[in-house]
């Protein structure tokens, strides 16, 4: 009898979690252990080719208001140093050195998403906005918001673009200048996050799965907010995330 119980538990643990009704989003494409660098076209395309519902990518703004997919806020390469926000797009292209740690590895977002959308017209795209400037804060945020609004309009991504950010200030700027783009607050505190998300008119909240319980997840939905979970890189963490009944899960491969 004991052996039967043990094998039953093993079988349950090995079963694939039922993600029916949950949109699965590739974290940076295929995650940090994927076969391609995160945020690269290869990683994002590979995730969509596998049948995921969308992809998430880190996004920054150049000095000339070009949106680029790139994670690190600072360049530490042999040819270029400093903030992404302090370089224009042409200068960043000259900084690019594929495979060199600390060098610019990013791609221009508009061209990237237009290419992906051709082959995956139903996919959604989540922009994890990274902010860093020593200029006027609100001027910078409104430039960012205008660039996102142009991206949605010019790349024909209406209803398929999600922006997530830790800064309520950016979410407010987006509310004013890109009202059609869905906005999610990134937070580790469900109670505080609900209030901030509702106040700034967000569509939802993005949280790490391991800091949330079912009661908090229910409160998020009861507040009229959608829930995206991240930090899901194993079968066990996926099962925990599924149990929270989110709308989206950002998964690692």
The first and second tokens of residue 42, run together, are: 């290869």
pLDDT at 202: 98
**Structural domains of the chain, count:** 1
Confirm whether 237 is domain-assigned: yes
Domain span at residue 30? 19-56+106-251
Has residue 8 got a pLDDT over 70? no
The model's pLDDT over 203-252, given as tens digits with 9 standing for 90+, comes to 999 999 999 999 999 999 999 999 999 999 999 999 999 999 999 999 99
The model's pLDDT over 213-226, given as tens digits with 9 standing for 90+, comes to 999 999 999 999 99
Q: Does residue 75 sit in helix, strand or coil?
A: strand
Confirm whether 241 is domain-assigned: yes
pLDDT at 16: 87
The model's pLDDT over 90-104, given as tens digits with 9 standing for 90+, comes to 999 888 877 777 778
Confirm whether 6 is domain-assigned: no
Q: In whole angstroms, what is the distance from residue 145 CA to residue 131 CA?
A: 12
Confirm whether 196 is domain-assigned: yes
Task: Find out whether 65 and 147 touch, Cβ atoms under 8 Å.
Answer: yes
Confirm whether 71 is domain-assigned: no
Q: Hunting for tokens 């799965």 — which residue is that? A: 209
Mean pLDDT score across all residues of the chain = 92
Confirm whether 5 is domain-assigned: no
Has residue 14 got a pLDDT over 70? no
pLDDT at 100: 74
Confirm whether 180 is domain-assigned: yes
The first and second tokens of residue 11, run together, are: 């079988």
The first and second tokens of residue 142, run together, are: 């409104």
List the CATH number of the domain containing 170: 3.20.20.190
Confirm whether 222 is domain-assigned: yes
pTM: 0.92
The model's pLDDT over 59-85, given as tens digits with 9 standing for 90+, comes to 999 999 999 999 988 888 788 889 999
Q: How far from the centroid of its chain's Cα atoms is residue 130's Cα?
A: 10
Has residue 3 got a pLDDT over 90? no
């Amino acid at each position: 009898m004991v052996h039967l119980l043990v094998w039953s538990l093993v079988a349950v643990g090995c079963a694939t979690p039922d993600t029916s009704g949950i949109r699965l989003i590739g974290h940076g494409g295929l995650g940090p252990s994927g076969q391609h660098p995160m945020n690269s076209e290869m990683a994002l395309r590979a995730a969509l080719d596998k049948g995921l519902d969308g992809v998430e990518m880190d996004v920054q703004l150049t000095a000339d208001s070009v949106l680029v997919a790139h994670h690190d806020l600072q360049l530490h390469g042999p040819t270029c140093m400093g903030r992404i926000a302090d370089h224009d797009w042409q200068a960043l292209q000259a900084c690019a050195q594929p495979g060199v740690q600390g060098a610019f590895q990013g791609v221009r977002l508009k061209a990237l998403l237009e290419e992906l959308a051709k082959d995956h017209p139903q996919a959604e795209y989540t922009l994890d906005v990274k902010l860093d400037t020593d200029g006027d804060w609100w001027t910078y945020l409104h430039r960012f918001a205008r660039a996102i609004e142009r991206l949605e309009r010019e790349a024909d991504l209406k209803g398929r673009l999600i922006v997530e950010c830790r800064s309520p200030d950016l979410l407010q700027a987006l509310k004013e200048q890109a009202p059609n783009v869905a906005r999610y607050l990134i937070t580790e505190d469900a109670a505080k996050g609900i209030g901030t998300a509702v106040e700034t008119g967000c569509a939802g909240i993005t949280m790490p799965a391991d800091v949330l319980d079912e009661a908090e997840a229910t409160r998020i939905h009861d507040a009229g907010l959608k829930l995206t979970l991240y930090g899901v890189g194993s079968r066990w963490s996926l099962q925990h995330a599924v149990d929270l009944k989110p709308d989206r899960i950002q998964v690692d491969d």
